[in-house]
Copies of this chain bind each other. A is one copy, B any other.
Amino acid sequence: MVVELICVGTEILLGNIVNTNAAYLAEKCAGLGLSCYFQTVVGDNGERLAMVLKTAMERSDIVILSGGLGPTEDDLTKEVAAKVCGRALVMHEPSKERLAEFFEKRGTVPTENNWKQAMMPEGAIVLDNPNGTAPGAVIETETAKVVLLPGPPNELCPMFENSVEPYLKKLTNYVICSRTVKICGVGESKAETMVKDLIDSQTNPTIATYAKTGEVHIRVTASGDNEKAAGKLIKPVVKELKARFQNAVYTTEEDVTLEKAVSDLLVANNLTVTCAESCTGGLLSGRLVNVPGVSDVYKAGFVTYSNKAKRRFLGVKKTTLQKYGAVSQQIAEEMAKGAALFTKTDVAVAVTGIAGPDGGTEEKPVGLVYIACCVKGKTTVKKYQFSGNRAKIRESSVSAALCLMRSCILEYFSKVTFGKKD
């Protein structure tokens, strides 16, 4: 089956935002075994959107549109799609009720234009949006299925996963299964080189690598008559990948993130944890706290941005600061040890670095980051040199810290691999 993506929004045409929705949807569709030949971006213009949608419906079985479902004048995707598909827009009472509830909960009075979000193309499958006000929809016509999704990624992604993915799975007469081997601590090029022979020699399953910040995801996708048949094709390849990447594989579960893997490891070993952050300024704690169950092991964390705060809250020595500077192996180590001591936790991780744009020197350039991890008194410090802007360096540091925590805990318990465990 052939799918086509249409992203609607003048802000994409103006280059105000990067079209991450297209990349997300493309990856998801590829994972479902759908072929995608075209992606189009069109502005908030009815005539041009209609033209693009008609063309897409002629050449593809499924057309996924994102954006333009909101309450404003500009939002006209639903109106155009309904017209192109020959459907009237009618009030969808359950959506209207949900909208009313939404505003009541927030104690605000909806403006008149808000109600247009509850108007749905006649006969459409309405997709619930628990993360926003605009529901999605699927319009089934004789030539194509037209899927309408909201533009904000935090609404689009859950809606795709909860409603669209199960719907699309039912449409195909073969089953596509995929499994992702998630790796941390190995660079993209190295990971690619390590699996190139597999990529080149395989057609079913296919193998594709996806670079994420501080991580590489290797997706193994197979098609078969049923889930069991596809799964059977995937299994030996996943086994081979685990054998090649060993300890670097942190999960093969779709919904396990790196922070979840680390949190699980802490909870399973009954280890409490704290973070002491300088350049990351709270992002590491913030990412750990993404995991709902982390409260069992994570109680408190510190952002010690100034030297004074490092001394006062973590007991970092003035002489060490003077001798080596705040961005040094010694300070990272003292921060981690101090945090562990101060909070009486089993694991403490500390990050200190130069995120830029200023503050770099020839000796200590922007992107230099030290991360220390202390597990029950045993401290490991690693030096990193990241590239990119301030945000990118901080994001890379957080991923590296999670990766280091994981390997230090594994090492402490001398667990060989996740891979060999299951």
Contacts and interface: CB of A to CB of B under 8 A. Distances in A.
B25 A38 contact: no
Interface in A172-212: 178, 187-190, 192-193, 196, 199-200, 208-211
A90 interface: no
Given A72-B192, A391-B290, A282 B303 contact: yes
> SS class of chain A's interface: helix, strand, loop or mixed?
mixed
Given A19-B23, A299-B305, A303-B302, A281 B292 contact: no
A18 B23 contact: yes
A390 B259 CA distance: 14
A300 to B, nearest CB: 4
B27 A38 contact: no
A30 interface: yes
A189 B71 contact: yes
Interface in A377-393: 385, 387-392
Interface in A1-35: 10-20, 22-30
Nearest to A191: B72
Contacts of A12: 22-23, 26, 39
A286 interface: yes
A15 B27 contact: yes
Contacts of A322: none
A37 B23 contact: no
Contact of A301 (B15, B190, B279, B303): B303
B13 A39 contact: yes
A284 interface: yes
Interface string A284-301: 111011101011001111
A43 interface: yes
A275 interface: yes
Contact of A74 (B37, B44, B209, B288): B209
Nearest to A10: B208
B30 A37 contact: no
A11 to B, nearest CB: 6
Interface of A: 10-20, 22-30, 36-45, 48, 52, 70-74, 102, 105-108, 110-114, 130-132, 152, 154-155, 158, 178, 187-190, 192-193, 196, 199-200, 208-211, 213, 219, 275, 277, 279-286, 288-290, 292, 294-295, 298-306, 308-309, 312-313, 343, 356-358, 365, 367, 385, 387-392, 394-395
Q: Lowest 9 A-B CB distances belong to which pairs?
A: A281-B289, A15-B27, A282-B282, A15-B26, A282-B285, A300-B309, A301-B303, A283-B286, A39-B41
Given A12-B26, A15-B22, 15 more contacts: A12-B22, A16-B27, A16-B209, A18-B18, A40-B41, A74-B208, A102-B387, A105-B385, A106-B387, A111-B193, A131-B387, A158-B389, A275-B282, A286-B286, A300-B305
